[in-house]
Amino acid sequence: GAGVSQTPSNKVTEKGKYVELRCDPISGHTALYWYRQSLGQGPEFLIYFQGTGAADDSGLPNDRFFAVRPEGSVSTLKIQRTERGDSAVYLCASSRGGGSLDEQFFGPGTRLTVL
Amino acid sequence: RKEVEQDPGPFNVPEGATVAFNCTYSNSASQSFFWYRQDCRKEPKLLMSVYSSGNEDGRFTAQLNRASQYISLLIRDSKLSDSATYLCVVRDSNYQLIWGAGTKLIIKP
């Protein structure tokens, strides 16, 4: 079966531009997570969806970052007015539910470079 | 102080040796614990969950010490294919995964 997929795999943009990153979770997984990973660091939590709603968005760094999951499946992470500091790998994960022992399966990530 | 701390390494280890990684966490309310493996420029993949009683999966053994807030991973008879970064992960009371920065392991022939 298909795993988590993310598009694009790489995105290069200029400072100040708007970007959208897409995540297709594993079919049937109700929980979806976005993380950001900088070089030499572990992933940093951004936002968690349970179904269509954002159950926890406490990791979003500021109001330039926003994510949606309108039909409870595909999610889009949106970054406005990108800054050089936004450059990182953006990882999406999904799990069957949101339980503490549910394994999170990760997509390959989108490498965002802001010039 | 970081919530999850690991020695970044790299650990350079000859093939066949035993290697151990340690990790400490700061939130005593943390509920579950994991080791993930991440290959270069790839996504993290779950290696094993860590249980209070300790658990083993083939050559890999994980231990948890809640009193000391300390997690360990032992790899026996290391293989070249074990070369990767090993990330210690803690799930807090909000069900977020809190990640260490990872320990890089290089197995040499």
Q: Phi then psi for B31, rounded to 5 degrees?
A: -105, -35
CA quadruple A34, A62, B5, B65: dihedral, nearest 10:
-60
The verdict on A104 touching B (C-beta cutoff 8 Å) is yes
Tokens 């799990």, residue?
A95
Q: Categorise residue A55: left if φ over 0, alpha if ψ from -120 to 50, beta otherwise.
A: alpha
Judging contacts by C-beta atoms under 8 Å, the chain B residues touching residue A44 are 99
Closest-CA residue to A28 (of A105, A91, A90) = A105
- Nearest Cβ partner of A101 from B4, B49, B89? B49
User: In this predicted structure, what is the pLDDT of residue B1?
Assistant: 65
User: In this predicted structure, what is the pLDDT of residue B97?
Assistant: 87
Min Cα–Cα distance to chain A from B76, Å: 24
User: In this predicted structure, what is the pLDDT of residue A68?
Assistant: 97
* Count, residues in chain A: 115
Provide the chain A residues 36-95 that lie in CB contact (below 8 A) with chain B: 40-45, 48, 56, 58-59, 91
Q: In angstroms, what is the C-alpha Rg of chain B?
A: 13
Min Cα–Cα distance to chain A from B77, Å: 26
Closest-CA residue to A106 (of A92, A96, A95) = A92
Would the CB atoms of A40 and B101 count as touching at under 8 Å? Answer: yes
- The answer to whether the CB of A31 falls within 8 A of the CB of A49 is yes
Q: Which two tokens stand for residue B63?
A: 């231990």
Min Cα–Cα distance to chain A from B79, Å: 23
CA–CA dist B106, A106 (Å, integer)? 23
- Nearest Cβ partner of B43 from A48, A91, A99? A91
The verdict on A25 touching B (C-beta cutoff 8 Å) is no
Cα B19 to the center of its chain, rounded Å: 11
- pLDDT above 70: percentage of residues in chain A: 97
User: In this predicted structure, what is the pLDDT of residue A99?
Assistant: 72
- The answer to whether the CB of A4 falls within 8 A of the CB of A23 is yes
| Cα atoms in the Cβ-side hemisphere of radius 13 Å centred on B50 | 27
pLDDT beyond 60 at A1: no
Closest-CA residue to A104 (of A92, A88, A91, A93) = A93
Judging contacts by C-beta atoms under 8 Å, the chain B residues touching residue A43 are 44, 87, 97, 99
Helix (H) or strand (E) run with residue B78 in it = none
- pLDDT band at residue A100 using 50, 70 and 90 as cut-offs: low
Min Cα–Cα distance to chain A from B36, Å: 10
| pLDDT by 10s per residue, chain B, length 109 | 679 999 999 999 999 999 999 999 999 888 889 999 999 999 999 999 998 888 999 999 999 999 999 999 999 999 999 999 999 999 886 668 899 999 999 999 9
User: In this predicted structure, what is the pLDDT of residue B52?
Assistant: 86
- pLDDT band at residue A43 using 50, 70 and 90 as cut-offs: very high
Would the CB atoms of A104 and B4 count as touching at under 8 Å? Answer: no
> How confident is the model over A49-84, as pLDDT tens digits?
999 999 999 999 999 999 999 999 999 999 999 999
